[in-house]
């Protein structure tokens, strides 16, 4: 059993905001803008609303902004008003949103994210938002609550404390909404808070050192989180995997000190015996490429290769905390793809859990191997009504979408629309690629049933999925290649810094709620 001390320690690593209570971001409502006591009150305005609001509580502020900054509400136009008369906020800052026909909810998220970061840079801890545009109140409140938490995120545990205390990173303490409190809005904010905190949890895992999340430690940390969150969690260790004949996942882990395992998370939200949706995550805790070693330029970010597994954990924890009425099973396929004398080698043949044999064409095509056994296990054991897998599976996927969407593949095209719509709603977009039977032809083996690397040097994202298809059988299946979206190598966005993004949690929760 875990001692309280361990939980505290865990708290510090993973929950520095969420579970510790005191440093949790606070959300407050105050519909009288003048009454909001914050370091800065951010007012987002469409061009149309700049004119309309001239009569209201902002009349004086708008007059100053027009005079000093020629403020018209053009997109991204800003104006800072210090100490306006009658306002309890220290500053009022106006931000243009542009023309209403072009403003989307994502614009609000991006604007709020940028403003959160601007406030942090100016050492302001208490901030307030109000938006006047075509975006309805519940939508901007929702957007602000999730982005405030996501934009405030930083992975700073390995940063030494700065010598000058004033250089310490500012964490946002209070976020006010210039809106009237209601049960509906309150519920929305609480929900988004849970989701965003879990996005940050996934980011923490992805950003962590490979050595601190090797298959054994990742399983242990997951268990600890599940004890706290009251999620049923068990681990299938290497010995059991051997007995089950899961030789594909075992092969991938042969060169590593810590052997593979599959973490099983179960959440029954319907209270009934209904068939579950099974979520499978690729959890390669470091992908060196194995004997087909990755070169410099490609290997540096490979601690991210467990993002799929972390996403599954994040989704399961969110579902539990939101009490979603779904039966879910999460399977985290954990292994390290290391290089050494014990590593599996090109030319080796292994028999998977479902009886199919695979010749290794390339040890760097390891993700599909760990997924193959885990998918086969999930289908056999849980007879799911749908299986979704999350995997940083192919570098090609990034080239296809430019990092702006995850690749979606399925054995049932009708499943696409709902996930596509969910992706657009939360701006975690997916884009479908074909799964022609020709791709399956490309994966056939000569001395074995299958090969893990395609004979066709093109179409690698589809052929990887075609390989997985051999292990799913008749079950409805969605494969998400999240290589394009799981990790920001060198670009940060308005509400996500460099490193792990937490992509997939918001997408899936939106999908499950629809």
**Residues near ligand BES, by CB under 6 A:** 287, 305, 362, 364-367, 392-396, 453, 460, 483
Contact in structure between 408 and 433 (CB atoms under 8 Å): yes
Binding partner of residue 483 among Zn ion, ligand BES, Mn ion, none, CB cut-off 5 to 8 Å per kind: ligand BES
Smallest gap from residue 453 Cβ to ligand BES (A): 5
Cα 381 to the center of its chain, rounded Å: 27
DSSP 480: E
Residue 442 lies near Zn ion (rule: CB under 5 A)? no
Joined tokens for residue 11: 């708290």
Instruction: Identify whether 67 is a catalytic site residue.
Output: no
Catalytic residue, chosen from 47, 109, 368, 451, is: 368
Residue 287 lies near Zn ion (rule: CB under 5 A)? yes
Considering beta carbons, is residue 198 or 292 the nearer one to Mn ion? 292
Binding partner of residue 264 among Zn ion, ligand BES, Mn ion, none, CB cut-off 5 to 8 Å per kind: none
Residue 367 lies near Zn ion (rule: CB under 5 A)? yes
Residue nearest Mn ion (C-beta atom): 364
Instruction: Identify whether 110 is a catalytic site residue.
Output: no
3-state helix, strand, coil split of the chain in percent (to 5) is 40, 20, 40
Smallest gap from residue 251 Cβ to Zn ion (A): 14
As beta bridge partners, residue 359 has 349, 451
Smallest gap from residue 402 Cβ to ligand BES (A): 13
Residue 310, Ramachandran bin (φ over 0: left; ψ between -120 and 50: alpha; else beta): alpha
On the 0-12 / 13-18 / 19+ scale of CB atoms within 10 A, 224 is middle
Contact in structure between 418 and 510 (CB atoms under 8 Å): no
State the Cα–Cα distance between residues 173 and 329, nearest whole angstrom: 35
State the Cα–Cα distance between residues 337 and 256, nearest whole angstrom: 7
Binding partner of residue 172 among Mn ion, Zn ion, ligand BES, none, CB cut-off 5 to 8 Å per kind: none
Smallest gap from residue 253 Cβ to Zn ion (A): 13
Point out which residues bind Mn ion (CB under 5 A). Answer: 287, 364, 366
Binding partner of residue 453 among Zn ion, ligand BES, Mn ion, none, CB cut-off 5 to 8 Å per kind: ligand BES
Residue 305 lies near Zn ion (rule: CB under 5 A)? yes
Binding residues for Zn ion, total number by CB under 5 A = 4
Catalytic residue, chosen from 105, 294, 345, 513, is: 294
State the Cα–Cα distance between residues 282 and 304, nearest whole angstrom: 10
Contact in structure between 313 and 222 (CB atoms under 8 Å): yes
Smallest gap from residue 364 Cβ to Mn ion (A): 4
- Find the Cα–Cα–Cα–Cα dihedral 491, 495, 499, 504, rounded to 10°: -120
By annotation, the residues acting in catalysis are 294, 368
Binding stretches for Zn ion (CB under 5 A): 284, 287, 305, 367
């Amino acid at each position: 059993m875990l001692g309280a001390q361990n939980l505290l320690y865990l708290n510090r690593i993973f929950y520095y905001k969420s579970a510790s209570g005191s440093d949790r971001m606070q959300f407050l409502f105050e519909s009288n803008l003048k009454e909001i006591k914050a370091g800065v009150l951010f007012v987002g305005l469409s061009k149309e609303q700049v004119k309309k609001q001239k009569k209201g509580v902002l009349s004086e502020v708008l007059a100053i902004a027009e005079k000093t900054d020629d403020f018209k509400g053009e997109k991204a136009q800003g104006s800072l008003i210090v100490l306006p008369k009658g306002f309890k906020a220290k500053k009022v800052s106006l931000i243009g949103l542009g023309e209403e026909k072009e403003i989307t909810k994502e614009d609000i998220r991006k604007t709020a994210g940028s403003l959160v970061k601007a406030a942090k840079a100016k050492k302001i801890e208490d901030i307030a938002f109000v938006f006047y545009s075509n975006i309805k109140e519940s939508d901007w409140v929702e957007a602000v609550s999730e982005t405030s938490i996501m934009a405030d995120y930083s992975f700073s545990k390995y940063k030494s404390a700065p010598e000058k205390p004033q250089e310490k990173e500012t964490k946002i303490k209070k976020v006010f909404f210039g809106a009237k409190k209601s049960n509906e809005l309150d519920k929305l904010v609480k929900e988004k808070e849970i989701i965003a905190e879990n996005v940050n949890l996934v980011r923490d895992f992805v950003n962590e050192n490979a050595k601190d999340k090797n298959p054994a430690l990742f399983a242990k940390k997951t268990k600890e989180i599940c004890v706290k969150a009251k999620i049923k969690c068990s681990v299938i260790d290497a010995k059991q995997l051997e007995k089950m004949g899961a030789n594909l996942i075992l092969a991938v882990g042969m060169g590593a000190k810590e052997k593979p395992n599959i973490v099983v998370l179960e959440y029954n939200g319907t209270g009934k015996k209904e068939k579950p949706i099974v979520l499978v995550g690729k959890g390669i805790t470091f992908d060196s490429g194995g004997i087909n070693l990755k070169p410099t330029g490609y290997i540096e970010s490979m601690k991210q290769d467990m993002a799929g597994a972390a996403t599954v954990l994040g989704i399961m924890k969110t579902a539990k905390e939101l009490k979603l009425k779904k039966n879910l099973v999460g399977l985290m396929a954990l292994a390290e793809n290391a290089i050494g004398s014990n590593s599996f080698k090109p030319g080796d043949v292994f028999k998977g859990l479902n009886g199919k044999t695979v010749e290794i064409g390339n040890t760097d095509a390891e993700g599909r191997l760990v997924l193959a056994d885990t998918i086969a296990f999930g289908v056999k054991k849980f007879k799911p009504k749908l299986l979704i897998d999350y995997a940083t599976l192919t570098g090609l996927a990034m080239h296809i979408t430019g990092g702006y969407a995850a690749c979606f593949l399925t054995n049932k095209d009708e499943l696409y629309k709902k996930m596509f719509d969910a992706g657009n709603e939360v701006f975690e977009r997916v884009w479908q690629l074909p799964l022609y039977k020709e791709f399956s032809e490309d994966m056939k083996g000569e001395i074995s049933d299958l090969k893990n690397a395609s004979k066709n040097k093109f179409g690698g994202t589809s052929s990887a999925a075609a390989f997985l298809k051999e292990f799913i059988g008749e079950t409805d299946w969605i494969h998400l290649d999240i290589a394009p979206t799981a990790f920001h190598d060198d670009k940060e966005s308005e509400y996500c810094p460099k490193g792990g993004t937490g992509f997939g949690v918001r997408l899936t929760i939106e999908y499950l709620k629809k």
